[in-house]
Structure 1
């Protein structure tokens, strides 16, 4: 397979995606940029040496030279634009959330199965060396049974963050801190432990005068029988992200860097001196792969070339959206919610109130 020719739409986080693609010149070439702000798109295209600029997404999808369309647009556009790009015969990479409901993501799963295109949601945090080391220790049989996991997303968002007209609104952001901020931290939990079985949650708007939630507390029973606790706020003066996993044979604690806590350093503590020795020996064998966007895009290219499973799949995104749906439904009803969530659930078609 030749180098993949990529078109990126959205000039916000899209700039980080472009730089990641351009750091992999043997795998990718960014050949087009699309944004409704022509002047901004032209300026960024000139700076990053991207030859083609579009403001019309339909024309952008019709560009024959494109192999991959990378969506970095506001949340409410993701499902529609993913469908449009896939129907144009392009592979799709899509920022979170890939859809605004379980129904929409199920429709995308069906579309992917019926076509020759691949659709990859973005969950780049899971490729950090810290969380990858935990996965490796689990695969080596050194973790044992999971007991309890805690996940903290304590960030600070002020009025200027919500100056973007699509943020802070149900119809355009599709949710609050749960959907667009803590979603990565919660994906890391499910990536390590697996899906939730039952959820009880509370959510409120306390920090900013917005429509959507900015504080969440949730108690989970996971499918493997372990427990997990999630806390989310945009009102923390000291910004941190933290994961702590307690297993029968070890505990694992992340760093607290708010936007990079999947990376090193993580602390792994064995339940005995003997297990500690085995952990250290295993970590010596660990082979680090690229992290972040670069890590996800490298693995994406390899999956296309080798015709193997994508590093992040629509089923991964569905698990994420299922947890979001359960948390919202529990917070709105004051009742625990059992998973999995099927088509008969009252919020299958939308979690928005």
Structure 2
């Protein structure tokens, strides 16, 4: 019988999606406890999702010896300290996006993990849509050819009421705007397919809302693999859309346009060469459907813990998205092309906050 991992959850917002993911894997996980600064909401979530208990005592959560995993689902500012504390308490860690507020914190966490045998997994659940997984399979099978161009669109709508939540829209508490908080998933998917970014030129603005952070941004990228990419993000699209399009020498791939399920089927994979199209179709016919989103990422995390293998999303992979954010804000403010990787001598290594 597979041993269940016992999870302590911090937070009561996006935590509900995590709880649904654990419930879908009830043979692998159980959630005995949840804590939140918002006690009323926390208790409501505990009752709704069948969590064992609510506690307002964060110290007691870290001290429990019957907890294997701490799952951090708070707004971004406390992520680093909570992750550090959990690792030092001997727990495995799962942490929501955006992971941390600087490359310095990412690198500090790498040093902490190097001295520990605990598993650490950032959340990028959108990777685990069947459409994107088929795209990755075709790349891994060598059926895509040389990469040329990627276009990534995050065109969503957020009305003024979205920013009625106290911590949103402020540099100090949200750490960034649409490029960080909303588009980070789809930009992770870009790096998942095309690898690291080499250079960024970005332009951002606050056009729709009375907030400190940007609600609109465009960026042009050079990837380390030699291809180029164009990113666009807005929270002012009356018709919401998310789209990934990859042009390779041997095929072109395009995602569905659904704003919040853009990693899932049906993607299109097209070659102008009928013989090569037949190879693509044959590979796709062999694809085995799996669970998607949080349930699939949690399944792979459980497997990594049980086998002492690599977690499905690593700290190094999450670093790519934080580097992209760092470089984009640097380019936006300086008017210069920002080169990657971001190293300790970079002016925004310790923080991109203005």
Which range, TM-score by smaller chain? Answer: over 0.9
How big is each residue's C-alpha offset from its partner over 1:292-337, in whole Å with a ceiling of 9 and x where there is no partner? 0001000000111111111001111111100100000000000001
Match for residue 296 of structure 1?
Answer: 297
Alignment partner of 1:297: what SS? helix
1:303, 1:147 → 2: CA distance? 34
Task: Say which SS state the counterpart of residue 75 (structure 1) adopts.
Answer: coil
Q: Deviations over 1:134-190 (max 9, x none)?
A: 111111111000000000000011111111111101111110011110000100000
Equivalent in the alignment of 2:127? 126
In the other structure, the counterpart of 2:231 is: 230
Distance 1:82 1:295 in 2: 22
Gaps in structure 2 of 5+ consecutive residues: none
2:19 pairs with 1:18: yes
Q: Which runs of 5+ in 1 are unaligned?
A: none
Q: In the alignment, is residue 162 of structure 1 matched against residue 125 of structure 2?
A: no
* 2:207 equivalent in structure 1: 206
Q: Which residue number corresponds to residue 258 of structure 2?
A: 257
1:174 — aligned with what?
175
Displacement after TM superposition at 1:271 (Å): 2.7
Contact 1:248 1:271 in 2 (8 A): no
Determine whether 1:29 maps to 2:7: no
| Alignment partners' CA distance in 2, 1:278 and 1:4 | 41
The equivalent residue for 2:195 is 194
Q: 1:54 deviation in Å?
A: 1.4
Q: State the Cα deviation string for residues 204-235 of structure 1 (Å, max 9, x = none).
A: 11111100011111000100100000000001
Matches of 2:136 and 2:326 in 1, distance apart?
A: 26
Q: What is the aligned partner in structure 2 of residue 86 from structure 1?
A: 87
Q: Residues 115-141 of structure 1, C-alpha deviation per residue, up to 9 Å, x if partnerless? A: 121111000011110011011111111
Partner Cα distance (2:90, 2:287) in 1: 38
The residue that corresponds to 1:307 in the other structure is 308
1:139 is matched with 140
> How many residues of Structure 1 are paired with residues of Structure 2 in the alignment?
353
Query: 1:45 deviation in Å?
Result: 1.3
- State TM-score, norm by structure 1: 0.98
Name the structure 2 match of 1:102.
Answer: 103
Deviation at 1:58, TM superposition (A): 2.1
SS in 2 for 1:144: coil
Structure 2 counterpart SS, 1:19: helix
- Residue 26 of structure 1 and its aligned partner are, at CA, apart by 1.4
SS at 1:298 equivalent: helix
1:87-113 Cα distance to aligned partner (Å, 9 max, x none):
111111000011100000111111111
8 A Cα contact 1:36 1:56, kept in partner: no
- Deviation (angstroms), 1:60: 1.5
Task: Give the RMSD, CA atoms, in angstroms.
Answer: 0.9
Q: Is 1:54 aligned to 2:55, yes or no?
A: yes
In the aligned structure 2, how far is the partner of 1:59 from the partner of 1:180? 30
- State the 1:43 CA deviation: 2.1
In structure 1, how many angstroms separate the alpha carbons of the residues matched to 2:304 and 2:22?
16
CA distance in 2, matches of 1:177, 1:33: 29
Distance 1:289 1:343 in 2: 40
Please give the secondary structure, in 1, of the residue aligned with 2:121: strand
SS in 1 for 2:78: helix
Residue in 2 aligned with 1:72? 73
- Divergent runs of 4+, >4 A: none
* SS class of match (1:221): strand
TM-score of the superposition, structure 2-length normalised? 0.98
